[in-house]
Structure 1
Amino acid sequence: MHVQCKFNAGSALRGGASMSVNDEWTGQSARCLQAALRMTHEAFAEHLGIGVRTVASWHQKPETKPRSGLQRELDTALATAPTDVTDRFHELINGGPLNLPDGAATDAELRLSEDATIVAALNWLDTHAGWDPGTARREVAARLAALDLHALQDRGVHRGRVDQRATARALAEYYGTSATGHGRYSAKFGMNTVSSTTVLTHPNWLDLDCPLFPKHDRLKLAGVTPGDNITMDEASADRAAQRLAETLALGNRMVNMPLFRLLDVDIRKHQLTGTVGVTDFVGYVVTMDLLEGELVDALTTGQPTRPRSLPLRDTYMPNLASALDVGGRMCAGGALALTAIARPADAFRSEPDYLLLIQERSGQVINAARRLAVIPKGFHQPLTDFRADAQVGATLRREMEEELFGRDDVDNTVGEQRHADPMHPTRQSEPMRWLLAEPGRLRMECTGFGLNLVSGNFEFASLIIIEDEEFWTRYGGDVQANWEASRLHQYSSRDAELLEELVNDVAWSNEGLFALLQGLRRLREIGGTRVDLPEIEWEIR
């Protein structure tokens, strides 16, 4: 992994291999030491005797100053490090690039062998590319050693400047229109604001008003998941190997957990039905998840985005028919929800309202990095009970615990899952136990379904309403996003002007904007006097 590291003025190391009494470690300098040691999050945490979440927090908030005990542990780790490590550390701490020495390919292969997820991805790539075992490992190691890491970071900055509207325009050009009644979701907010997205949907898939409980939430697990039938040509395999090298270099968090794959779907008002199978996350990461990067890179360099100009998209999802053929391709995805929490009137708000939560996504996430999104948002995947977890509501309840109520033990990127029933009532957070203790406190509905043309993902847009305003009084101070969000923003359901400005923000992820608009549309219908919103009318284009 690589980070460009500089201390604040006066704190850069000069000569020795230890910190002076006037120097303090920060998240940024700790990242430099991790990069110099060439350790994963897990290996570095074990080296220091700390939790993985602490290491992750240094990457999310580089200005953080570790507590005094950790300051001493970091001092010791640097003082006892080999000379080549301290040399790399000094170079990094002064802003230099991480230049891998001779034999770096061998060193990279050692790193590749330690990461179980990367090993699984390499095996997947060998199989689907038709390579001899071990070929993918050597290919990724060579790419890792050859990476221009400053250029990689610069590319991330350029990608971040491509906004939601640009991707919507580009994919409208690529896919054109459908003759089946399906089209890209757009909506008019009030009189002046019109937003278009890349979410392929249908009138029957919108305004579902579908409670996310078993009677209505009826996705089923297939007895046998059909093979993915993915064969990779040389160009696709090369891009997959490059993606794995970049993932290692940038320290992105990736865990190979089971992932639900959509096989067929039947969506109608008040009911979600369909079938899902189970696949591996790594197969998605090195295939369909590459489509977004290819598109955004074309936009940043002024390249065309027409058919036959995007090789990966031309291979994996070349037209609307292939996008709709969810059983014939790798179709992963998830659920995301606009969360509305009832609040009483107070000295600053003259009337009761709903608090609406919006997140800025971290740069460390695989999906919608550095974009605005509703919260919670997560991949649809099982924990331990694959059949029960096929329900969309199961994912949203888990994501509430993880992303809003701080439960690390249901975050599969942090550690292994050993509990027989992670969502057992005795393991629930106190806020979740309170919400489920009495009927009527928590309302969960699916408001729409679509297929995001960015990567072909399925998206279950939903609305979570906490109806009892006592919740905010009791637990409002406990609501906190996890590592997947870099920041949370509050909005009031009675502030139409600020919400219109939010809808107009070009930093949205397409699926996030889809869920926001559908959620606000439903909230306006059922929210009563807590809501003051203009009409929101959707259109299929």
Structure 2
Amino acid sequence: MNPAGGWTGRTATALQSALRLSQERFAERLGISARTVGSWHKKPDLRPQSDMQQVLDTALAQASDAERDRFGALTSDAPASASPAGASSEADERLDADPHIGAALEWLDRHAHWTPGTARRAVADRLARIDVQELHDRGTQRGWVSQRDVAAALTTYYGSQLDDHGLYTAQCGDLTMNTSVLTCADWLDLNCELRPPYDQFRVPSAQPEADLDLADHAFDRAVQRLAETLSMNTRLTDSPIYRLTSTDIREHQLRGTFGVSQFVHYALTADLLEGELVDAVAAGSTAMPLRDRYLPDLRSVLDVGERLCAGGVLALTAIARSADPYRGDADYLLLVQERSGNVLNAARRLAVIPKGFHQPLTDVRRDAQVGMTLRREMEEELFGRPDIDNTLGEMLAADPLHPTKLTEPMSWLMAQPGRLRMECTGFGLNLVSGNYEFASLIVIDDEEFWARYGGVVEANWESATLRQYSTTDDELVTELLGDVAWSNEGLFAMSQGLRRLAEIGGERVKLPAIEWEISQ
């Protein structure tokens, strides 16, 4: 495998990248000065002398199979700027020009200790070998893995309880709903209004978290994620996200602290756990090396300050409607979405709507309030505001949620107190990827809203379909709760939302009682 024609500065630095060593550590391994390694970076066409050629030969011979494979990929004949064979022109353009893909590549180079450009070549090589039909087939196979399968696999991996924390289970009549959401009694039935002084999370610092080192398998999976993202034309946006660092959550109170990270960090590490898990379940395997590395036990799940704990806010939306001769008594309309296959999180799963990552828009401290994210997601996912969808473009407005910029439906809701009720109904840590989840409830009690704006409520690109259910139709709602296509966090939010709605909804709610318990 030694380079044809002998070593050059270019191939020597490729070996350094394949070994994932800094210039100093590479020099130490070869027994030479760091200045010599630096000269190879500056002069890629330089040919080392014969004794140095032998040193490099020995280093390559002592490399592991994985390291030699990486070296072979990095020194292939295809130039770095060439389009990967078989890749679509659109994927090729994104690899070269998409700033978010560029940010992900830079992140990979930095955390794998590779020289700049190495990750791009690795992704280009992987992209050339991807079979798009195979990815579609895998997506179909993943869709066959049910929410119950996922919950059972995670219970087997972690067990079901640590101290006073356990897995959330709900009972509706004869139906039992097991989830992989780790929670406790203090985190449930919060009935916490999403406004000050109840919604009080703080951001002490916006400095990014400490760097991490990617192991070989973790780097390989991250490269694969980027290649698949390009092949399937999946949106990837590198924007700031909140990372949970501490909690003080109880009834009527949301307190704690957030730090700030970047979405590519999450997308190329913790978010890979979901795909690895579902693929393992589909294959009947228990091997999950990424989970073993990032989230090995329940104590590491609960220790949010020592890991990247990203997450989001999702809410059951209930809209009051008047009695109708065709539909029946006055009720609440419930909205449920089937997630698109083009999203990175909970693809093709059922979820309540809205559902979004908890992240700042323009004000890192103010936007830490859970209610701010929920109002933003209402505007984006229900009322169709593309300018606050950061996957579509840069955020240019100084205050995207200023009253003068709100959509007409949201302006109407905010015009009078009492028209819009937003509450957090529960909190938990989702074992699928370690995310925090704020299960919430949005209630619009004024029947005039649906008469005025029902025709403009429309899901965005993140949803494949949008379904309607009535709180007077106990049979269909119970059947919905038993659907195995739910995401775990979606079922958690749906169950908690219906519990709270039964308490405050009066005669509009005619559903079986839902009771929760913490798995023992």
TM range (shorter): 0.7 to 0.9
- Alignment of 1:356 with 2:324, yes or no, is no
Structure 2 residue aligned with 1:220, among 199, 202, 205? 202
Structure 2 residue aligned with 1:133, among 116, 124, 128? 116
Note the C-alpha offset of 1:381: 0.6
Note the C-alpha offset of 1:416: 1.4
* 1:460-484 per-position Cα deviation (integer Å, ceiling 9, x unaligned): 0000000101101111111111111
User: Is the contact between residue 440 and residue 493 of structure 2 (CA under 8 Å) also seen in structure 1?
Assistant: yes
Structure 1 residue aligned with 2:421, among 422, 426, 443? 443
- Alignment of 1:169 with 2:145, yes or no, is no
Note the C-alpha offset of 1:535: 1.4
* In structure 1, distance between residues paired with 2:384 and 2:412: 15
AA in 2 matched with 1:205 = W
Q: Aligned in 2, Cα 1:505/1:426: closer, same or farther, shift over 3 Å? A: same
- State the match for 1:398 in structure 2: 376
4+ aligned runs moved over 4 Å, structure 1: 102-105, 108-111
- State the match for 1:324 in structure 2: 302
Corresponding residue SS for 2:496: helix
AA in 2 matched with 1:522 = R
* 1:140-198 per-position Cα deviation (integer Å, ceiling 9, x unaligned): 111011112221221111111111000000000000133311011110012x0000011
- Alignment of 1:106 with 2:82, yes or no, is yes
* In structure 2, distance between residues paired with 1:183 and 1:229: 31
* 1:277-319 per-position Cα deviation (integer Å, ceiling 9, x unaligned): 1111000000000001111111111212xxxx21000000000
Unaligned runs of 5+ in 1: 1-101
- State the match for 1:69 in structure 2: none
- State the match for 1:389 in structure 2: 367
AA in 2 matched with 1:339 = T
- Count of residue pairs the alignment pairs up: 436
- Alignment of 1:497 with 2:475, yes or no, is yes
Note the C-alpha offset of 1:226: 5.6
AA in 2 matched with 1:202 = C
* In structure 1, distance between residues paired with 2:140 and 2:80: 27
- State the match for 2:495 in structure 1: 517
Corresponding residue SS for 1:364: coil
* In structure 2, distance between residues paired with 1:189 and 1:231: 45
User: Is the contact between residue 356 and residue 377 of structure 2 (CA under 8 Å) also seen in structure 1?
Assistant: yes
Corresponding residue SS for 2:515: strand
Note the C-alpha offset of 1:510: 0.4
- State the match for 2:133 in structure 1: 150
AA in 2 matched with 1:356 = L
Q: What's the TM-score, normalizing by structure 1?
A: 0.79
* 1:368-421 per-position Cα deviation (integer Å, ceiling 9, x unaligned): 111100000000011111111100000000000011011111111111111111
Note the C-alpha offset of 1:104: 9.3
- Between the aligned residues of both structures, percent identity stands at 63
* In structure 2, distance between residues paired with 1:295 and 1:311: 10
* 1:47-104 per-position Cα deviation (integer Å, ceiling 9, x unaligned): xxxxxxxxxxxxxxxxxxxxxxxxxxxxxxxxxxxxxxxxxxxxxxxxxxxxxxx879
AA in 1 matched with 2:323 = A
- State the match for 2:440 in structure 1: 462
Aligned pairs for 1:122-521 (under 5 A) are 122-190=105-173, 192-225=174-207, 227-304=209-286, 309-521=287-499
- State the match for 1:121 in structure 2: 104
Give me the CA root mean square deviation. 1.5
Note the C-alpha offset of 1:229: 4.2
Greater Rg over alpha carbons, structure: 2
User: Is the contact between residue 198 and residue 510 of structure 1 (CA under 8 Å) also seen in structure 2?
Assistant: yes
AA in 2 matched with 1:291 = L
* In structure 2, distance between residues paired with 1:224 and 1:522: 35
Corresponding residue SS for 2:390: coil
AA in 2 matched with 1:322 = S
- State the match for 1:40 in structure 2: none
Corresponding residue SS for 2:162: coil
User: Is the contact between residue 198 and residue 454 of structure 1 (CA under 8 Å) also seen in structure 2?
Assistant: yes
Note the C-alpha offset of 1:354: 0.3
AA in 2 matched with 1:380 = H
Q: Aligned in 2, Cα 1:103/1:134: closer, same or farther, shift over 3 Å? A: closer
* In structure 2, distance between residues paired with 1:479 and 1:311: 42
Note the C-alpha offset of 1:225: 3.8
User: Is the contact between residue 208 and residue 260 of structure 2 (CA under 8 Å) also seen in structure 1?
Assistant: no
Note the C-alpha offset of 1:497: 1.0
AA in 1 matched with 2:231 = A
Q: What's the TM-score, normalizing by structure 2?
A: 0.82
